Structure 1
């Protein structure tokens, strides 16, 4: 298993900065994340003295490289490896957590159709095989056992395939490392909700494939897992996390159009998270700023994430206007292009962008500025402006300030979507 190093080509970074990138950029970023996961696994093997499990993984890779690559790149594997390596470095590692490297090897062997005997952890009597599901033992004791790979007794993860077979997404509601936020749901996704997910994913993919080709290509290259989370007060929510690249967390979608727009939005977060593993775009800054899509003051890094994500959202509605009747697509486009443009100004005026960050944000702003020339119906423009004014007034009333910047504690939560 070869570990590669990466530098983002300037032309590719520029294309990403403009809001797109397509399949080529998305695939490049996915490859960098695989390399990151492999580096983390090597760190766990060396620091945790788990070389035997890593060697077994390498042996499987020699026979079935794609199966091993799939498991190593699985989002929950990256999250587990990062937290375990951090615990090893600080001397607080749980032996059960280190032994999960054996379960990674077992999952790869199962996907490859190979027989393997390997030591795996069973915290509470449950063995988690990343990307596959769980095995429940007839005991709830914490233990490490020798497992012979066999998925016949495994509680499988649900999978959703598009009608044309172009995409397959895992619905992960079992892996303990599937999502880092407190909104993750307890227990499995209810059957009725799963049916809605299947229906809406199929329709959303058809919409993206027909009218939003770049987003569809990026979805195929990046998205691998859907993780259920609790709905916000608005009745819907979605998010991404830097530690689970390839996962889109969401509450049950209300309809396929919302889901398609959510994919467009969250893929932007995923791309930027991967970019930030390679280059620095912002400098340390204690200030907090107004964001036209959030109710709380945001750090500069959060502003950049929000502007980039809402560029993707505005782009979705810009294209959607050609296939959906009514004012709503025009309102959404008008509101989010203006909101993201406003924030790029805040970013560029902050004095806290790196030279690469200034170039990135400048190109982002150039795209939004060109979109400001696109005509929208007067009623849509008025509605978008009214919604923006109402949001700003509510923000000022909630936060008790009269300016645009306030100070506060750094935000370390996953990137979240404040949807209208």
Structure 2
């Protein structure tokens, strides 16, 4: 493929410092998004090269798929970009490069671009258990196809639509066609700001390593997600406009998770930039702070692909005030950066609450500013940061020091202290009473 956006990516010093302070804004996030697109281009090319070097049995088919993708890119670059930016494509490509498995899925990536572009052609694609996955678009279940084993189906594309067929049985792609399950979208608009995400509850690579992926949302569940998202987006747009802009620039996909006993589960992965995996949001406030939290993770993961901030893991593990288990330095940094964002959210949101809600919001601010600052100190004395990492965490610490000087009501401070003390006590019981905050717990 031609790669006009495949350039060297750098982060200017001022943008780096803005990110370190927990912000950056949409322009800086768009730099990170561009770097991630280049990463996906490299990974897809890497799939082809890995197959060639290994003498893979699917090498010739992979070459044809890659050439087709390049031909579509020349005429319809936006169609190829929409597919290659899709988070699961990056996860699949990384897996294929690392293991040599799934090389044949390159044909499905090419087919997705062909269908999006409305190009007239046919593409043979892998089918597993009678199901064909078309990344960024959806899945086809072919009636009568074998439910066991692997086979090949054919995507037939034309300007007026597309279908998938095998052994004379065809399923139309799009709409409410029987056998077709398309990715649905959620959207919200408030205060002149808009946000749109796909709900990927189908792709096998949508969140690698997750043990609590759930099956496809029902129509009623999708409607519930839409309603909560609209309210959460309104809250962000009104009270946290800069965060809203970053979320809109970075996040393109939600992946549903199985709900925990209470609250909300959420996660991001360095392999699936742009995707937030989450359980059904219980309320708009929870979803709003989750978007702020997980976007911080996404920003840091993308930055780490450009600038290494930590040295190789030396086995040391540390206390994190938001986890039940001892954490390595990389995980500690991710958590501190995410909770810098959470503290910033509650710092602003407390001024838009009243009564007991204001007390709770102040407690959240007090707890997480202290937790993130304590862990920043641990990181700075760990000896495990690179030079840029030390600059990054020092900037985080300065921002948190500024926030620590801001008064909170006594009731909020008491709730924060009690919650922090309770977490540390339970953590010590769970981990054998080990250590003080900041101590190296294990090597």
Q: TM-score range by the shorter chain?
A: over 0.9
Structure 1 contact 99–144 (Cα < 8 Å) conserved: no
Q: Do structure 1's residue 147 and structure 2's residue 159 form an aligned pair?
A: no
SS of residue paired to 2:194: coil
* Other-structure match for 1:296: 325
Structure 1 contact 183–230 (Cα < 8 Å) conserved: no
* Other-structure match for 2:412: 380
* Other-structure match for 2:132: 127
Out of 192, 195, 198, the residue aligned to residue 170 of structure 1 is 198
User: Offset at 1:11?
Assistant: 1.7
- Listed as ranges, the gaps of 5+ residues in structure 2 are 52-58, 163-172
Separation (CA, whole Å) in 2 of partners of 1:406 and 1:264 = 30
- Listed as ranges, the gaps of 5+ residues in structure 1 are 410-420
Separation (CA, whole Å) in 1 of partners of 2:224 and 2:419 = 30
User: Offset at 1:144?
Assistant: 2.2
SS of residue paired to 1:182: coil
Structure 2 contact 83–113 (Cα < 8 Å) conserved: yes
Q: Map residues 33-112 of structure 1 onto 2, 5 A cutoff.
A: 33-48=36-51, 49=59, 50-88=62-100, 93=101, 97-112=102-117
Q: Do structure 1's residue 310 and structure 2's residue 336 form an aligned pair?
A: no
Instruction: Provide, for residues 185-237 of structure 1, a one-character-per-residue CA deviation record: whole Å limited to 9, x for no partner.
Output: 34212333322211111111111111111111111111011001123344421
- Which one is further off, 240-249 or 174-183? 174-183
Structure 1 contact 297–406 (Cα < 8 Å) conserved: no
- Which one is further off, 188-197 or 304-313? 188-197
Two-structure CA RMSD over aligned residues (Å): 1.6
SS of residue paired to 1:25: helix
Out of 184, 204, 209, the residue aligned to residue 158 of structure 1 is 184
Q: Do structure 1's residue 202 and structure 2's residue 230 form an aligned pair?
A: yes
* Other-structure match for 1:412: none
Q: Do structure 1's residue 240 and structure 2's residue 268 form an aligned pair?
A: yes
Q: Map residues 363-374 of structure 1 onto 2, 5 A cutoff.
A: 363-374=395-406
Out of 15, 19, 29, the residue aligned to residue 18 of structure 2 is 15
Q: Do structure 1's residue 285 and structure 2's residue 293 form an aligned pair?
A: no
Give the TM-score taking structure 1 as reference length: 0.92
Separation (CA, whole Å) in 2 of partners of 1:235 and 1:378 = 26
Q: Runs (4+) of structure 1 moved beyond 3 Å?
A: 232-235, 404-409
SS of residue paired to 1:312: helix
Structure 2 contact 266–290 (Cα < 8 Å) conserved: yes
Aligned length: 402
Out of 268, 277, 280, the residue aligned to residue 252 of structure 1 is 280
SS of residue paired to 2:26: helix
Give the TM-score taking structure 2 as reference length: 0.87
Separation (CA, whole Å) in 2 of partners of 1:69 and 1:189 = 27
Instruction: Provide, for residues 268-309 of structure 1, a one-character-per-residue CA deviation record: whole Å limited to 9, x for no partner.
Output: 100111111112111232111111111111111111111000
* Other-structure match for 2:253: 225
Structure 1 contact 286–407 (Cα < 8 Å) conserved: no
SS of residue paired to 2:267: strand
Separation (CA, whole Å) in 2 of partners of 1:44 and 1:181 = 20
Separation (CA, whole Å) in 1 of partners of 2:89 and 2:431 = 39
User: Offset at 1:145?
Assistant: 3.0
User: Offset at 1:169?
Assistant: 0.7
Separation (CA, whole Å) in 2 of partners of 1:359 and 1:232 = 37
User: Offset at 1:407?
Assistant: 4.8
Instruction: Provide, for residues 324-365 of structure 1, a one-character-per-residue CA deviation record: whole Å limited to 9, x for no partner.
Output: 222111110010000000000101111111111100000000
| Cα distance change of structure 1 residues 186 and 373 upon mapping to structure 2, 3 Å threshold | closer
Out of 393, 412, 426, the residue aligned to residue 361 of structure 1 is 393
Separation (CA, whole Å) in 2 of partners of 1:67 and 1:323 = 42
User: Offset at 1:87?
Assistant: 1.2
Separation (CA, whole Å) in 1 of partners of 2:270 and 2:307 = 14
User: Offset at 1:163?
Assistant: 4.0
Structure 1 contact 54–101 (Cα < 8 Å) conserved: yes
* Other-structure match for 1:29: 32
Q: Do structure 1's residue 324 and structure 2's residue 353 form an aligned pair?
A: yes
